[in-house]
Structure 1
Amino acid sequence: MLTISQLAGYAGVTVAAVRHYHKIGLLPEPERDRSGYRSYNAAAVARLIRIRVLASAGVPLAQVEDLLDADPEDFAEEVRELDARLRAEVRRLQDTRKRLARLAAGEHLALPQSVVGYLDRLRELGVEERYIERERDAWIVVAAQFPDEIDAVIANKHEDLDDPDRVRFYSLVSGALDWSADDPRVVELADILDRILTRWFESQDLDDDWFDDQMIALLDATMAESAPAAKRLLTLLEERGWKGWTRVERMPADR
């Protein structure tokens, strides 16, 4: 006959584990002998080893007793059901890991891969991270409003970057957050945008139906407040016949 310490040693568990299994009813608690000690037999060792093996395999303790007492057919069925639950849990954990990886990647949190790729291309052009962060936030709004169209929009944006005026625009605007309103480069930006918008207008590719008026006002206000030179840029564009930023309109020549 074995003491509780010997039992635990043979089964490869701690004495505290044995006492816990007694408490929850997994391991029957023997009567004390005349000296006041509990003694255990080989059957207790075998049962305790089976408990340890099942628990180590991931079986919840609440299910261990059913498996211990099941016949071979029922045991196999219980194991199959447990395996199915574990596989579902593995899939859930894998999905969680993917979401965590996206969180670690930052931009992937709220943006589709197409937009992330476009922002990476801007980085390759040397655009400063501060400006990219602002453009990223704008694309988060666009992607949320038009999830089915965003990939096509970004494909067009990639084509736009084949235009030297677009590349020059980004090389300038990258540092524009620190420009004063009277910086001469603001005029160059206005000239570049005037050429770009003129080509858009002539190709009849201006699309002003993307957002409702409230969203237009929000995005325009965000742009106007983004840098000291932003409002002057909008004024210069109006002088060249263009009104608005998110929804651009061509003003009458005789305004």
Structure 2
Amino acid sequence: MRSGELARLAGVTVRALRHYHQVGVLAEPHRTGNGYRAYDVHDLVRVLRIKRLAALGVPLERMPEVLDDDGRDRDATELLDELDRELAVRMERITRQREVLALLRAHRAAPDVPPELAPFLAVFAAAGVTADMRRLDRDQSILLAHFAGEEGMAELARFYERLSGPALFPTVTAISERFSRLGPDSTDGEITELARSFAAALGPEIGKLDEEATAPGLDAAAELLGRHTEDVLNEQQWEALRRFGSLLEALPEE
């Protein structure tokens, strides 16, 4: 039989047959006088065995040890055990991914938002924070989560939880709304007053985060956050943050 007939009988494509030849799991058959490959029923059985192994997740490079095992059941058992372990790891990863998806869907969060912070970002989004501020919060949360790592995520989540809690949330959203309105028409006094409001509301919480932080990467994140805001904020907003930072540095340590 020719390659087209073999492919049809086996339920594969001719391209797949060529690939099997290239990787060495299916030997090249002899060719007819006009150059066509000539397969027989033994090749069909070989291809069907390849399909069954592929369905189990056996990679092509591992197939020869099963296809040409000469009855070595012990090697086949070891391979099956290995495949089972790989599937167990994959299933565990899929379960975690589904849990993350469920969390993101529950809070209507974007797929790229850190799932541990999604509940708190959703609170600010629901409060009517401007789209620009939501994007800023999202980008900064992604940076912080990456550099916090697993060991620092708990501290970071607690920080976000405090900001979105009933004690601070009204103040934080009001300050955020005022911050979003800063522009060329803003006076120096407005900028200073906003920086002071920032420091009064967030200074203690940032201090707690510094005290709790165990992830060394958060220091690098702080520098990158500054560089990020340079590109996305206007001159007046950047000046408010600069004055806010100066006020934080001047706060007495507890």
Q: Is TM (by shorter chain) over 0.5? A: yes
Structure 1 vs Structure 2 CA RMSD:
5.5
Matches within 5 A, 1:68-79: 68-69=67-68, 70-71=70-71, 73-74=73-74, 76-77=76-77
Shift of 1:56: 1.2
Match of 2:173 among 167, 182, 190: 167
Amino acid at match of 2:48: V
Moved beyond 6 Å, runs of 4+: 13-16, 30-33, 36-40, 95-98, 211-218
Q: Percent identity?
A: 15
Q: Which residue of 2 aligns with 1:126?
A: 128
Q: Matches of 1:28 and 1:18 in 2, distance apart?
A: 9
Q: Which residue of 1 aligns with 2:45?
A: 50
Q: Matches of 1:233 and 1:161 in 2, distance apart?
A: 23
Shift of 1:82: 6.1
Q: Which residue of 1 aligns with 2:186?
A: 182
Q: Is the 8 A contact 1:138 1:219 kept in 2?
A: yes
Shift of 1:150: 0.9
What is the TM-score of this pair, normalised by structure 2? Answer: 0.56
Q: Matches of 1:5 and 1:182 in 2, distance apart?
A: 76
Residue correspondences, number = 225
Q: Which has more helix, going by share of residues?
A: 2
Amino acid at match of 2:236: A
What is the TM-score of this pair, normalised by structure 1? Answer: 0.56
Q: Which residue of 2 aligns with 1:150?
A: 156
Q: Which residue of 2 aligns with 1:8?
A: 6
Matches within 5 A, 1:1-255: 4=2, 8=6, 11-12=9-10, 17=17, 24=24, 26=26, 29=29, 44-45=40-41, 47-57=42-52, 58=54, 59-69=58-68, 70-71=70-71, 73-74=73-74, 76-77=76-77, 80-81=80-81, 83-84=83-84, 87=87, 90-91=90-91, 94=94, 105-108=111-114, 113-143=115-145, 144-145=147-148, 146-159=152-165, 162=168, 164-176=170-182, 179-182=183-186, 187=190, 190-191=192-193, 194=196, 197=199, 207=207, 210=210, 226-230=233-237, 233=240, 244=246, 247-250=248-251
Structure 2, unaligned runs of 5 or more: 105-109, 212-217
Shift of 1:157: 1.0
Which of structures 1 and 2 has the larger relative contact order (alpha carbons within 8 angstroms, sep 6+)?
2
- Which range is displaced more, 127-136 or 73-82? 73-82
